[in-house]
Amino acid sequence: MSLSRALPRIAALVLVLVLVSGCGTGALSGLLGTTAGKAKQTASQAKNATTKSKSSQKFTVTMTDELKFDPPTLTVPKGAKVTWQNKGQVAHTVTDDPAKVADKSHVSLPEGAQPFDSGPISAGASWSQTFKTPGTYHYVCLPHEAAGMAGTIVVTP
């Protein structure tokens, strides 16, 4: 092959190399950009998770076949989510609604709070309620109201 015939080929090869390397750099910077973006996103997600875990401390009341709420009185900060777990064999309810109880004096709600009723919570099941209004909540278990199955949630401001 003579040099005059090889030159166009060399030129073409150089052009291809320039295009490939240019493209490669572009792809590489794109990849780096994506990685940096992902790292940033992960950091922000981790921050959100930390913030969330601070405000979502777990508060649990267990319900037993001894017809008790344990602990009978639980104090939580405003906005706390309380979960009732039925560890016994019989169904219970978490009811703070004067319209549903046998004796209205067994329940009370802070002013402005909405009455609530879990409905039957069967053996092994659980039910949660978030408390947004500070104050004292006296609640009962509907089927065992007469047996004195009652509890109190105190929500601090």
Interface residues with Cu ion (CB under 5 A) are: 92, 141, 144, 149
Least separation, in Å, of the C-beta of 150 and Cu ion?
10
Nearer to Cu ion, 83 or 133 (CB): 83
Strand stretches in 81-141, DSSP E: 81-86, 95-96, 116-117, 126-130, 135-140
In the complex with Cu ion, the residue whose CB is nearer, 92 or 106, is: 92
Q: How far is the CB of 103 from Cu ion (least distance, A)?
A: 15
Question: How far is the C-alpha of 28 from the C-alpha of 71, rounded, in Å?
Answer: 59
Apex 41 CA angle, 35 and 29, nearest 5 = 20
Q: Which is nearer to Cu ion, 45 or 122 (CB)?
A: 122
Q: How far is the CB of 60 from Cu ion (least distance, A)?
A: 16
Closer to Cu ion by CB, 13 or 146: give it: 146
Closest distance of CB 56 from Cu ion, Å? 27
Looking at beta carbons only, is 135 or 143 nearer to Cu ion?
143
CB of 70 to Cu ion, least distance (A): 12
Helix, strand or coil, per DSSP, at residue 33: helix
With CB atoms as reference, the residue minimizing the distance to Cu ion is 141
Q: Can you tell me the distance from the alpha carbon of 2 to that of 21, in angstroms, rounded to the nearest whole number? A: 28
Contact of 117 with 142, CB cutoff 8 Å = yes
Half-sphere exposure of 95 (CA within 13 A, CB side): 24
